[in-house]
Amino acid sequence: MSETRTPAGRALHAGDAPVLVFDSGVGGVSVARAIRAALPGLPILYYADLAAFPYGDWDPAALTHHCVGLVRELVATHCPRALVIACNTASTLILPPLRAVLDIPVVGTVPAIKPAAQLTRSGVVAVLATPGTVRREYTFDLIERFASEVAVTLVGSRGLARLAEERLRGGVVSREALLAEIRPCFVEKAGRRTDVVVLACTHYPLLLPELREVAPWPVTWIDPAPAIARRLADVLDLVPGGSQAEISGPAAPERDRILCSNDTDLSHLLALIGESPETCDAGLARHV
């Protein structure tokens, strides 16, 4: 059976064509706000697949089938100019099949292992991810290619993404629960200890202020969102921080939209996308 490619439609080059940011839940907000900061004139269509959350426990073949079908439908319906998969777990599986069938740029989110290997001074780093991501061959390949001389601890958290979702709903996240999820990242070996932690799930940066507070010792936390925004700017041939004139139409935030695969009301997230990461971190509960 031959593959058919899904076109972006006539709106691809129109001023109102958004970038589609796709995630299993609200974690991709950390990516969407980085895109907004870097490309203020670019409208964002955010899709949260909460009906299927969390992706980390899915069978790989089933998740690939689900996500590829859903994303193709979204692209055909909404005609985005580009697609950002704001989910590490999904990206490690679906980037090749999506790029094979879509006629728009596809930007993924993969564990920032190369930057971690470059930043570490102790030679001991941790990758904090979902159970699915830490099992992927894609992750092992990144370690072999970019961190073969570094001691890498892979930590598959089962609860941290849910804690981030709870925080965005205005819930209280206990320090004990957070510490239990991140403690395996903090390793001491032969007088050396972890000094870099890769946040390999887009939910996790939403908890970064709390993670810094409960960490057993100070480390460098790598949030992939700014790099994703820069990559998007590159594939769209836009200048990060450029003027609104680069993209025609009304101010982008007025055209932002959020869709969800169940009936959850996520309208409050529009305010978070428009805020700077620093402001957003300081005042998440204000919007829920």
Q: How confident is the model at residue 242 (pLDDT cuts 50, 70, 90)?
A: low
Residues 30 and 58 in one domain: yes
Measured CA to CA, the distance from residue 249 to residue 41 in angstroms comes to 8
Quick check: 152 pLDDT over 80? yes
The string of pLDDT tens digits covering residues 8-50 is: 333 334 457 999 999 988 889 999 999 999 999 899 999 999 9
Of 222, 238, 272, which residue is a domain's last? 222
Residues 23 and 94 in one domain: yes
- CA 31, 33, 39, 42 torsion: positive or negative? positive
Catalytic option among 87, 185, 260, 280? 87
With respect to residue 1, please indicate whether it lies within any of the assigned structural domains: no
- CA-nearest of 229, 179, 236 to 202 is 229
Residues 231 and 260 in one domain: yes
Of 222, 247, 263, which residue is a domain's last? 222
pLDDT computed for residue 15 by the predictor? 59
Amino acid at 206: L
pLDDT computed for residue 41 by the predictor? 87
Q: Kindly state the percentage of the chain with pLDDT values over 70.
A: 83
Task: Examine the residue annotation and report whether 280 is marked as an active-site residue of this protein.
Answer: no
Domain that holds residue 149: 113-222
With respect to residue 198, please indicate whether it lies within any of the assigned structural domains: yes
Residues 216 and 243 in one domain: no
Task: Examine the residue annotation and report whether 87 is marked as an active-site residue of this protein.
Answer: yes
With respect to residue 197, please indicate whether it lies within any of the assigned structural domains: yes
The answer to whether the beta carbons of residues 80 and 232 sit under 8 Å apart is no
Of 222, 246, 266, which residue is a domain's last? 222
**Rg, the chain, Cα only:** 18
* Owner of token pair 């939403």: 206
With respect to residue 180, please indicate whether it lies within any of the assigned structural domains: yes
When divided into structural domains, the chain yields a total of: 2
With respect to residue 4, please indicate whether it lies within any of the assigned structural domains: no
Residues 80 and 51 in one domain: yes
Measured CA to CA, the distance from residue 15 to residue 12 in angstroms comes to 9
With respect to residue 136, please indicate whether it lies within any of the assigned structural domains: yes
Task: Please indicate whether residue 1 or residue 116 has the higher confidence score (pLDDT).
Answer: 116
User: What tokens were used for 225?
Assistant: 């969102």
Residues 84 and 120 in one domain: no
CATH for 15: 3.40.50.1860
Quick check: 271 pLDDT over 70? no
Catalytic option among 67, 79, 185, 201? 201
